[in-house]
Structure formats: structure tokens, C-alpha cells
Chain A
Amino acid sequence: MTLTVSFTINGAPVSTAVHPETVLADVIRDEFQLVGCKVGCDQAVCGACTVLVDRIPMAACSTFAFEAEGRDIVTIEGLARPDGTLSAVQRAFLDVQGFQCGFCTGGLILLVTALLERDPDPDRATITDWLGSAVCRCTGYLAIIEAVETAARLNREVAA
């Protein structure tokens, strides 16, 4: 049994045939070749597969493709402007080296993007709560926390 699912991905409207049991991560990776969406734990713990669905961060490994119907999906590939200009969150992660191996980084950047949309100036407790949506085994989180704070500052500077 297959069904057709229609949604937008990084701004482009698409339709694709999926099985009910197909998860979003496989569609994003295999169908649309957006392999910046990494599958780490495959249990919605590590957050490497995080994508934005209607601006909400979701674990694509644990979200069925049919749940995407009619929704707007953004992957890490869709965050920079078409001319290549990085988003403030991407810029901040790059500037402060908020990554090491990089496997969790795309998901983290999308997560932080969602955080700063909701709370442009998060305190430390809010940041660590949100980072609880992800695991980074490399950094010990210090650089990631700094990246979040830097991104918030960059956003404010752009707004000012």
C-alpha cells in the first residue's frame, strides 16, 4: 500500500509516493537526496535527524512521512539564503566552532533556529533545556551553548 504525500521542502512544493511505515528521514535522504539529515540513534534521542516541520523541530527518524502532508519542511540545506549567505545560527556555529565531528550539527542548528524564533534571548536554563533535544558526544556542549548565545546576539545586531 502506498499513498501520495504532498508538502514543501526547502520552499519547493513536492509530491511523493510513500508507504505508511516510511519515516520522513528516509524520504528526505533517499528521495530528495538531502543527506544533511543524518540518522544517528534512530530513536529520537540524538537529534541528528532534526528537521523543521512548520517551524517545529521534529526527529525525522521518528516522524512518519504521511505526517508531513501539507506541511512546510526545512532541512539544514534550506537554511542559508540562495546566494549562500549563512543564517545567523549557522554563522554562529561556524564562528565559535560549535561542532567537532559535525554529525549532529545540522539537526542542532535547526533546533536552535526554532529556539531563537520562540525566544530571541534565551537564558542558560532555557538553552540547556532545548539542547536536551539532542546529543553531542564530541563537544561537551560548552561551544554549542556559546554558539546559541552568539546566534542570539547576531540576530539582535541584525534587528538593531
Chain B
Amino acid sequence: MTSSEPPPLVALRGRQRIAPFALVRVGDTAAAAEAALAGAVPMGGGVDLVDRMKFGERIERLMPLSGLALGGVEATEGGLRIGATTTYAALAESAEAARLAPAFARLVGGVANPRIRMKGTVGGSVMSQKPNFDVWPALMALGADLVFADGDGEARLPAAALAPDERRLLLAVEVPAGADARFAFDRSLRPIVSVFAGREAATGALRLAVGCAHQRPLLLRLAAGETDVAAAAAAALPPPKSDGLASSTYRRRMVGVLAARLARILPGPDAAS
């Protein structure tokens, strides 16, 4: 341990550790997008952000998104568009989500607890990139897009392509039409590992997003017709972490077990179309 880098304050996490910051108030989405690029940190519900700040992480400029028109769930030509500041609870209770993405809505309506679900936002969950959060890997398995502010317009990115240092303002996520009918998840082994699975309509390939097992959730793709999903998924998986909860070996094996179970219950490409 070098003297230039003092050890962390052991166990002194908490609200009094939250470093002073400047509050950035913006009037509209365009201003928010600009401020985000300039380094202001967006805050949706703050569930993850406040937690990190209590560990001493410094945020110089914090930009609440609560006043902006970034919420809402709507059907679009492409599928279901979910505004970034939509809370888990609002999404789970949305009639549009129940109609167009019932499995995803059921997932979101069951994560964490109602108190968190009424505060936490879809955008915040994705952008935190936390290994144990469920929304981002679910979106990967659904083949969803992330919609960012980009100049005067929007830029789309497949959910799995989100970069660790992404600074653009997330406007919404879009779940493609029909994807939810070929989506399933298994969270029964949380917080050791969770698996989210989606079948690509066109190719029949299996998208497997894995949570809890690495520094960030990640996506595997198994070609259609893979007969031994368990072995293929376990083999394709980058080395999972080892900790006191479970070994890397166990996590790898369980990704296979859960993936195979999900593959069995997912409809094939024909059934869903």
C-alpha cells in the first residue's frame, strides 16, 4: 500500500461520507444530454448512486432527472419503448408492458422490493451496470436497444454493447416486438448467478445473459440447434468470479444448468412467430 493512496476508511460507509456536490438543475432533455456529456452525473432514483457515494465515491456534479419528461411506457412500431426514468413499479404496472412484454414486466415487478421498485428507474438500473441488477441482462437477452441522446437526435445501441464508461444520457430502452414471447429467466440461485434467456426470432439462436457471476453482466449467444445447451453455455462463459458464496467452477456449471432449463421452456423460432 503506497502512502499516496491511503487505505479506505474501513467500515465507515454511510450518509456522512457523501461528499459535497453541486446540484445541476436542467429544464429539458436536451440540456440534460449536454450536461451529461460535460460530466454531470444523471440520477434517476439514486438507488445505486447514493449507495456508491456512501462508500466515498466522489460525484462533483449531480443532475437529478426527476423533472424531465423521460418516463413512460409506450407501444411503438418496433415494440415497447420504456423511458429511462420509468420506475420499476411503473413499468410493472403498465398496461402496455403487460400487453407487449408480460414476462419482462413480471421480472421487473419482482426484483428487489416494492420500496426500491417505486424509486429505482429502468435507466438507472441499466447504467449502473451492477452485476446483481436484473434489468440490463434481461434487456440483453431480449435483444433490446438502448436509446441515447445524440446531438439533436437519438442513437441506438444493442443493450449488450453498453460501454463501461458510457456518458451519453440514456433516454429510453426499446424491447423489440415479439421478443418477450421468447424470453425467460431464472433468478433462483441469486446472488450466486442468474440467467436470462431469449430466442432470436429470425435465427433461433439462444441469447443468454448472465448476472451476478462477473464484474458486469454479460451476454452469450448459442447458435440454433445446439443440442447440449448446458455444456455449450458453460464452455462459452468467460471465467466467472470465485468468492465466499460460490466457486467459479460452480457458477460456470450453474450457468449451464439454468441455461438448459430455460432453453427447454422457450418456444422455438417458429412457435413464436
A19 to B22, CA, bound (A): 9
Name the CB-closest residue of B to A107.
Answer: B115
Q: How many residues of B contact A (CB 8 A)?
A: 26
Say yes or no: A57-B118 contact (C-beta < 8 A), given A43-B13, A64-B46, A129-B110: yes
Name the CB-closest residue of B to A61.
Answer: B15
The reply to whether the CB of B188 lies closer than 8 angstroms to some CB of chain A is no
Number of A-B pairs, beta carbon distance below 8 Å: 75
Say yes or no: A133-B23 contact (C-beta < 8 A), given A26-B15, A42-B14, A43-B54: no
Contact B114 A57 (CB under 8 A): yes
Question: Which range contains the number of A residues in contact with the other chain?
Answer: 20 to 34
The reply to whether the CB of B158 lies closer than 8 angstroms to some CB of chain A is no
Residues of B within 8 A of A14 (CB): none
Contact B22 A1 (CB under 8 A): yes
Residues of B within 8 A of A58 (CB): 115, 118-119
The reply to whether the CB of A59 lies closer than 8 angstroms to some CB of chain B is yes
Residues of B within 8 A of A39 (CB): 15
The reply to whether the CB of B113 lies closer than 8 angstroms to some CB of chain A is yes
The residue from B15, B64, B114 contacting A130, defined by CB atoms under 8 A apart: B114
The reply to whether the CB of B62 lies closer than 8 angstroms to some CB of chain A is yes
Task: Spell out A's residues near B (CB within 8 Å).
Answer: 1, 3, 19-21, 23, 25-26, 39, 42-44, 47, 50, 56-59, 61-64, 66-67, 111, 115, 129-130, 132-133
Beyond A44-B51, A56-B119, A133-B114: 15 further Cβ-contacts under 8 Å? A21-B21, A21-B53, A23-B18, A42-B13, A42-B54, A44-B115, A47-B115, A50-B115, A58-B118, A62-B15, A62-B46, A63-B46, A66-B23, A66-B64, A133-B115
Q: Which 6 A-B pairs have the closest CB atoms?
A: A133-B115, A132-B113, A133-B113, A21-B18, A42-B14, A20-B23
